[in-house]
Amino acid sequence: MSLTIHPVTGIPEVTEGTDLGVLIGDVCSSGEFGLANGDVLVVTQKIVSKAEGAIVEIDQSDPLSHKPLVEREAVRILRRRGDLIITETKHGFVCANAGIDLSNVARGHAALLPDDSDRSASRIRERIRHNHGVVVGVIVSDTFGRPWRRGVTDVAIGCAGIGAVVDLRGTEDALGRELLVTEVCIADELAAAADLVCGKAEGIPVALIRGVNPGWLRESSVQEEIIRSPSEDLFR
Amino acid sequence: MSLTIHPVTGIPEVTEGTDLGVLIGDVCSSGEFGLANGDVLVVTQKIVSKAEGAIVEIDQSDPLSHKPLVEREAVRILRRRGDLIITETKHGFVCANAGIDLSNVARGHAALLPDDSDRSASRIRERIRHNHGVVVGVIVSDTFGRPWRRGVTDVAIGCAGIGAVVDLRGTEDALGRELLVTEVCIADELAAAADLVCGKAEGIPVALIRGVNPGWLRESSVQEEIIRSPSEDLFR
């Protein structure tokens, strides 16, 4: 089955207190593509942080003024080189600068990561179900770097109603032999796919993905399914 | 602009010597969606390895018989835990077991990584341009794990005619301030998106992506753009 990824245009500037479920539900359902059961909405972290008030003031005359914030928000510093600090956040994410960033935020401000992006996703999902009678999956995405490979990609930092990791172990491949390594992080793949239409400079904060395998739609959590505990991690 | 990802069905079993450009070009152009300038084809590594004869025999009675192969194919072992070996390959990829795997390969055999997946992608692209007069981008994808996050995702190991990393530095965000970190690895995002329709168990080895930003279509190389040199890497 084919998958279609639509940019959701017409989302106005989000401020603290905006109910994202109401906003996104209304914009999507009155838009060109509507909203259908089984759609997956990918919502970029920045508007979630803005809606939840996770924005702090920084001294805009000092290009390093967000660094003390990074130290405060990180529970652990993994690596440091020049201005770059690779951190572990309280959520268990390993990313640069504790996920704090300055792009698409008003001058003199920085956006922190949402407190609990699984819960943020769940709220958006429940609001859309309540207001529009449509059951969608929701992913909150953010842009992370990674070791060994240049360039950033979008990954899932929260989800609701869509599996984060799909376990195909025990199913057979096309030649009838049991698959060996097949826990696929579809939430990260969906977040990456969404970024291809949102872009960084476009200011399009939501993508609508239609055609997702219905077997993947279920209760889920990035915290429980994606975050690898330090004890099973070989690179911490 | 919306993006559509179609699974390319009807690709027969690939064997050594198969000309993938001919095969994929013919199947796509006679298929439901055809082929258009600017389409991006994502071709999974397994059929590239098969076509190029990068398949070796292993002792199928010994579940660890591919391990000496892993040691041979790796230029460096980064980590080891139980059966899991995290390796650096001659191409500069950091992945489990030197990229060798046993799924979707005949019993008693293992698939090695293609020798030069950028070249493999380029050959497919040139063949399709020659036979069908259509200019497409081609990505060769493989399935890699990553630190800190559970589940595998598909990434690009070769590309032609589609940028690997798109540099948005210096462009402005939607609020008119210069973006700070904006080298986006679109080749990995496209590979991840394609995996959502190919799946591991489906045996669909090619996806057709339509609607890719035309500004991203250019000469490119995974080797040159994505592989991070050890000197600039913080986790080697």
| pLDDT, tens digit, 9 for 90 and up, residues A160-186 | 999 999 987 656 666 666 556 579 999
Query: Do B28 and B42 contact (CB within 8 A), yes or no?
Result: no
Flag whether pLDDT at A224 surpasses 60.
yes
Q: Which residues of A touch B183 (CB under 8 A)?
A: 150-152
**B4-53+115-227: in CATH 3.30.1330.100:** yes
Protein fold of A55-113: CofE-like fold (3.90.1660)
Write down the pLDDT at residue B64: 74
What the block records as the tokens of A47 is 């508007």
> Under CATH, domain A4-49+115-227 is a member of which superfamily?
CofE-like (3.30.1330.100)
DSSP letters spanning chain A = --EEEEE---PPPP-TT--HHHHHHHHHHTSSS---TT-EEEEEHHHHHHHTT-EEE--TT-TTTTHHHHHHHEEEEEEEETTEEEEEETTS-EEEGGG-B-TTS-TTEEEPPPS-HHHHHHHHHHHHHHHH----EEEEEEEE--SSB-SBEEEEEEEESS-SSEE-TTSB-TTS-B-SS-EE-HHHHHHHHHHHHH-SSS---EEEEE---GGG-S---HHHHTBPPGGG-S--
Q: Where are the domain boundaries for CATH 3.30.1330.100 in chain B?
A: 4-53+115-227
Q: Which residues contact B196 (CB under 8 A, 6 or more apart)?
A: A3, A186, A189, A190, A193, A212, A213, B5
| Selected residue with higher pLDDT from B177 and B29 | B29
What the block records as the tokens of B187 is 């080749």
What is the rounded distance in angstroms from the CA atom of residue B15 to the CA atom of residue B200?
19
**In 3D, which of A222, A74, A236 has the Cα closest to residue B150?**
A222
Write down the pLDDT at residue A66: 76
**Shortest distance, CA B102 to any CA of chain A (angstroms):** 8
Query: Do B32 and B38 contact (CB within 8 A), yes or no?
Result: no
Q: Which residues of B touch A189 (CB under 8 A)?
A: 153-154, 192-193, 195-196
Instruction: Please name the residue that has the structure tokens 């990561």.
Output: A113
Cβ within 8 Å, pair B104-A175: yes
Write down the pLDDT at residue B174: 64
Q: Which residues contact A36 (CB under 8 A, 6 or more apart)?
A: A134, A210
What is the rounded distance in angstroms from the CA atom of residue B46 to the CA atom of residue B199?
13
CB of A195 within 8 Å of a chain B CB? The answer is yes
Cβ within 8 Å, pair A236-B101: no
Which of A19-28, A201-210, B18-27, B130-139 is the least confident region? A201-210
Q: Where are the domain boundaries for CATH 3.30.1330.100 in chain A?
A: 4-49+115-227
For residue B19, the cross-strand partners are: none
Question: Which A residues, 5 through 24, put their C-beta within 8 Å of a C-beta on chain B?
Answer: 5-7
List the single residue in A with minimal CA-CA distance to B6: A2
pLDDT tens for A140-167 read 999 999 999 999 999 999 999 999 999 8
What is the rounded distance in angstroms from the CA atom of residue A124 to the CA atom of residue A19?
8
Cβ within 8 Å, pair B173-A148: no
Rounded CA Rg of chain B: 18
Interface test with A, best of B6, B65, B149 (most A CBs within 10 A): B149
CA A156 to chain centre: 4
Write down the pLDDT at residue A175: 62
For residue B177, the cross-strand partners are: none
CA A12 to chain centre: 19
Number of H helices, E strands in chain B: 6, 12
List the single residue in B with minimal CA-CA distance to A170: B201
Write down the pLDDT at residue B83: 78
Instruction: Please name the residue that has the structure tokens 């990553």.
Output: B146
Q: Is A215 exposed, middle or buried (0-12, 13-18, 19+ CB in 10 A)?
A: exposed
pLDDT tens for B144-157 read 999 999 999 999 99
CB of B71 within 8 Å of a chain A CB? The answer is no
ipTM: 0.95
**Shortest distance, CA B109 to any CA of chain A (angstroms):** 12
CB of A28 within 8 Å of a chain B CB? The answer is no
What is the rounded distance in angstroms from the CA atom of residue B68 to the CA atom of residue B74?
10
**In 3D, which of A143, A159, A137, A141 has the Cα closest to residue A223?**
A159
What is the rounded distance in angstroms from the CA atom of residue A52 to the CA atom of residue A114?
7
Residue A173 is which amino acid?
A: D
CB of B96 within 8 Å of a chain A CB? The answer is yes
Relative orientation angle of helices A117-132 and A20-29, to the nearest 10 degrees: 50
Q: Where are the domain boundaries for CATH 3.90.1660.10 in chain A?
A: 55-113
What is the rounded distance in angstroms from the CA atom of residue B112 to the CA atom of residue B14?
15
pLDDT tens for A201-221 read 677 999 999 999 999 999 999
CB of A201 within 8 Å of a chain B CB? The answer is yes
Task: Classify strands A137-144 and A40-44 as parallel, antiparallel or unpaired.
Answer: parallel
What the block records as the tokens of B175 is 């609020």
Cβ within 8 Å, pair A172-B81: no
